[in-house]
Amino acid sequence: MVQQYRALKNRYEIERTIGTGGFAKVKLATHISTGEKVAIKIMEKLHLGKDLHRVKTELEALKALSHHHISKLYEVIETPTHFFIVMEYCSGGELFDHIVLKKKLSEMQSRLFFRQILSAVAYAHSKGYAHRDLKPENVLLDKDQTLKLIDFGLCARPSGGLQCHLNTSCGSPTYAAPELIKSEEYLGSEVDVWSMGVLLYALLCGFLPFDADNIKTLYEKISNGHYEEPSWLSSGSKNLLKRMLEIDRKKRIKVDELLQDRWVTHGFYEPVAFNSLFNFDERDDECVKLMADQQGVDCDDMWGKVSEMNYDHDTATYLILLMRKKQGLPIKLAARVALPRFCVTDRRLLEENRRNEEKARTVGNNIVKYSISIYSKYLSYLQLPLLLNIIMCLCLIMFLVPAKMSTGQKAKHLEVPTTPQQKVPNPDWLSHTPRGLTSPGQKILGSIEKSFNKVRNVLTPKRKQTQATADQRDKPTVLTVKNMCNISTTSSSDPDAVFEKLKEALESRGIVCNAKGFTLRGKVEEDDSQANHFKLSFELEVCLMPSPAGDSANSAPLVVIRRKRLKGDAWCYKKICEEVLNLTVAPVH
């Protein structure tokens, strides 16, 4: 575990990065005590700057909100340099990616998802919070395809309640209500309803109701409230979207009305319930007893610590156990792992090792000096050129001296003893007096010749080996069914031709891109008012995939394009992918 993650040691096992943002990195990890997978958002304080208040706002909201459709906060670890925010892990990814994969969702599936989003938003409103940044990128799916609302960094909780007007313009432009883009006073609940309308439209249609190439045109479309109504939309869907995307906020449908709207309740025969299914204030004796037994304390004392909800490691353990129990999963705890402690004996042993290592370093330096002096005297008799003398000295330092003690030997001799009785043995070669340049029985001239050959090999380019490496690097990646990624297939069998056409298509659209191997990394810049910022960064890679007729050894592999959004606006990414891939000569499906 790297140095900056020491605060997580013996608590979480870090696995891999599953997300990155402007100032945060999200790691997949395992909660060691329970074995539960979690997501840890890691933020470096130095890079937060003016966004520090957003982190604190989000933490306050997540501590106050406990709902089955809001990603649960488990633990907050703050160090002098970092924030570590441990959250519920949602393995299904973003709702946006789900929409892109499905193109568009059926009305019944859209209704099911919308009811879950509505339940989370209504619950947040009942606690006095307006989200203000509702969009598919801020909704995740867990392993059971249940939606979880995330990212409360822009939320607001007016001191006078949600009936108090707000002034801060925030959120994503394509989801912003007309009153937001006009910089008017607004109610948080009303702008959330508008954003949910845009989100519902995206579920039903697979694209956004308001979209444009520049911000001015986009704002005009939002202000007018005009959007396309595809033929596949039912009359009930059209009617609900009109009531949610109403530019007159006084006529816009309210959350209370949405909960029992006819379209929303169709097939479910009941209004949307928004009360939380989790009650963390009530004591669960089974979970408390498990924790008490693990820590060797009384159950009442254990509950006294947990009930404070400090969002420390005890809080995280209790919440995870309780959520697993409510999901019908087995609950158990691993043996408690104590943090490492150093006794006096250990310190003495470490100090002795340090002295031995320093002694080894000193003797090694003496050998270098002694060896160079001997070689200089020896070579002076041969009257060799200065350059050759330098090469010989370098050869000695690089290839002869390190042989005095291999890495494995050094590690062996400097290993920390497991018991105080064990002593740290000195390296064998330290007991010998340096004998010129050789160990017993070694020929001086022979060692010079071997070392000179090594130097010559270092200085001479290995053309065949270099060429092989280049050829290997220039081969497209071969995907298998195990590769989970978004791809577009082509009818071409030439990856080089597809790559060149893809590059031309990006350049024709004015997209800045860097090429490495068969990968193109593109960036879309913001407008002039936000120079030096990027609206979007993405990656397109030309790969090979085995033909569907995989049994045949002679069947040629398919040339495909792997797509990956790295950072930025998801809908802009989708639009660019569609345009660029359609510009390639090879047909893309």
Q: Which residues are catalytic, by number?
A: 133
Q: In what helix (H) or strand (E) does residue 223 lie, and over which residues does it extend? A: helix 215-224
Residue 425 CB: number of other CB atoms within 10 A? 12
- Confirm if 73 and 311 have CB atoms less than 8 A apart: yes
Residues in the chain: 589
Phi, psi angle pair for 14, to nearest 5°: -75, 135
Cα–Cα dist 356/354, whole Å: 5
Range 537-575 burial, b when 16+ CB lie within 10 A, else e? bbbbbbbbbeeeeeeeeeeebbbbbbbebeebbbbbbbb
Cα–Cα dist 91/26, whole Å: 13
Q: Tell me which DSSP letter residue 315 carries.
A: H
Cα–Cα dist 370/377, whole Å: 11
Beta pairing class for 477-478 and 534-545: parallel
Cα–Cα dist 430/437, whole Å: 15
Cα–Cα dist 554/493, whole Å: 13
Cα–Cα dist 180/188, whole Å: 10
Token pair, residue 391, equals 């090469």
Phi, psi angle pair for 526, to nearest 5°: -75, 175
Write the DSSP string, 47-86. Answer: HHGGGHHHHHHHHHHHHH---TTBPPEEEEEE-SSEEEEE
Cα–Cα dist 200/204, whole Å: 6
